[in-house]
Amino acid sequence: MRDFAEIFDEIVREYGARGFLYPGAGGLPVLVGELRSYVSSDLGVSIRDHEDLVVVSGAQHGIKLLSQLLLGERDIVITEDPTFWEAIDPMRFQGARLIGIPVDEEGMDTSRLEDLLRKGVKPRLIYVIPTCHNPCGYVMSIDRRRHLLEIAEKYDLTILEDDPYRPIAQDPPPSLKSIDRDGRVIYVGSMSKVLAPGLRIGYVILDRVLAIELSKLEQHDFSTSTPMQLLVARALKKGLVRSLIPRLRRHYSEKIRILVESLEEHLPGSFTRARCGFFTIVRLGVDAEKHLPRAIASGVIYVPAKDFHIEKKPADTARISISMPSKEEIREGVERLASSIRG
């Protein structure tokens, strides 16, 4: 917090009232420039000559705007099953129909995807969270990443890669965007996991023509906060983000390890073996919504995960997060959850 306070004080002194005006569409040039450097050098995500980076108010805001821009009534979106329900809700709001493809520890089952496409299904978009999947915590293997891109080329498809956890992932495979030869991947990233979610700073990398249209939509929402853009730009310029990344990767990797070990001890065979990120899915064996009050009474809270699923909606699934609890609280929380289920 001291670093943020110092940076904010610098911004107020340097920009004065100008730092609190409307920022205009697409992001302040100073932040766009810093983000372009950050995603290429620190995250290894390439930006092609014909592409632009658009600043948005967090990754979810970017996905909402892309849904407005790209989707219409009866368009088909193929996604992992389960997936992040707050990302797919705006797609449904636009009238899109979702089809879910199962995921396992290597990510989306791309063979199942190709089988579906051979039957004549023509999606407008494929939405994936290949690194630190939300809610399963899986990481898509490099072979499946390549297969997914081959499929997109063969069937002339667009992929929306939601990649907010890359900054905190230990040695993740290259992003789909960085190994995409044909410009089929729209990339969405965020500063929420590496700095703070309340800053509401995300970004989208996409073709320049689409970027212009996305910027217009973003401006209709009165754009992203000027002082927050200036704060993040300065944090990037001063190297604060670069210094945080190794520590955050070690920190969250350890917390995920503890979660998996604790679940293996107290709820064996009932959960997705998360590799990174914040989440895992647990099969409680009881209705997750009905059980929630008892879990809360025991000192544990989770998110019932039925609505994260697309095709079948198992009522006993719960999403557990390690973002806020300490390592000791993770161990104790899993034990308390297991005890609340056993009754």
**Collapsing DSSP states into helix, strand and coil, what is residue 78?**
strand
Q: Which pLDDT score is estimated for 19?
A: 87
**Collapsing DSSP states into helix, strand and coil, what is residue 100?**
strand
Q: Which pLDDT score is estimated for 329?
A: 97
Q: How far apart are CA 302 and CA 81, in angstroms?
A: 19
The model's pTM is 0.95
Q: Would you place residue 226 in the very low, low, confident or very high pLDDT band (cuts 50, 70, 90)?
A: very high
Residues 75 and 142 in one domain: yes
Q: Which pLDDT score is estimated for 70?
A: 97
Residues 142 and 223 in one domain: yes
Q: How far apart are CA 19 and CA 113, in angstroms?
A: 47
State percent of the chain over pLDDT 70.
99
Residues 233 and 260 in one domain: no
Q: Is 268 left (phi over 0), alpha (psi -120 to 50) or beta?
A: beta
Mean pLDDT confidence for 213-221 = 86
Residues 229 and 280 in one domain: no
Residues 6+ apart with CB under 8 A from 327: 254, 255, 258
Which of the listed residues 181, 204, 238 is the one where a domain comes to its end? Answer: 238
Q: Which pLDDT score is estimated for 223?
A: 72
Task: Count the domains in the chain.
Answer: 2
Residues 293 and 261 in one domain: yes
Any idea what the CATH number is for the domain that residue 16 is in? 3.40.640.10
Q: Would you place residue 307 in the very low, low, confident or very high pLDDT band (cuts 50, 70, 90)?
A: very high
Q: Which pLDDT score is estimated for 29?
A: 95
Residue 224 has pLDDT above 80, yes or no: yes
What is the identity of the amino acid at 177?
K
* Structural domain that includes position 11: 2-238
Task: State the chain's mean pLDDT as an integer.
Answer: 95
Mean pLDDT confidence for 250-263 = 97
Q: Which pLDDT score is estimated for 175?
A: 97
Residues 122 and 48 in one domain: yes
Mean pLDDT confidence for 250-273 = 97
Residue 246 has pLDDT above 80, yes or no: yes
Residue 303 has pLDDT above 80, yes or no: yes
Encoded tokens for 113: 């995807």
Mean pLDDT confidence for 151-173 = 97
Q: Which pLDDT score is estimated for 43?
A: 94
Mean pLDDT confidence for 68-95 = 96
Q: Which pLDDT score is estimated for 127?
A: 98
Residues 68 and 165 in one domain: yes
Residues 62 and 141 in one domain: yes
The string of pLDDT tens digits covering residues 85-140 is: 999 999 999 999 999 999 999 999 999 999 999 999 999 999 999 999 999 999 99
Q: How far apart are CA 277 and CA 252, in angstroms?
A: 7
Q: Which pLDDT score is estimated for 3?
A: 80
Residue 243 has pLDDT above 70, yes or no: yes
Which of the listed residues 238, 271, 304 is the one where a domain comes to its end? Answer: 238
Residues 283 and 174 in one domain: no
Any idea what the CATH number is for the domain that residue 280 is in? 3.90.1150.10
Residues 140 and 110 in one domain: yes
Do residues 306 and 284 touch, judged by C-beta distance below 8 A? no
Residues 301 and 159 in one domain: no
Do residues 149 and 100 touch, judged by C-beta distance below 8 A? no
Mean pLDDT confidence for 216-228 = 83
DSSP 8-state code for residue 173:
P
Q: Which pLDDT score is estimated for 260?
A: 97
Phi, psi (5° rounding) for residue 86? Answer: -70, -20
Mean pLDDT confidence for 265-288 = 97
Residues 8 and 24 in one domain: yes
Which of the listed residues 181, 210, 238 is the one where a domain comes to its end? Answer: 238
Residues 6+ apart with CB under 8 A from 86: 60
Q: Which pLDDT score is estimated for 222?
A: 62
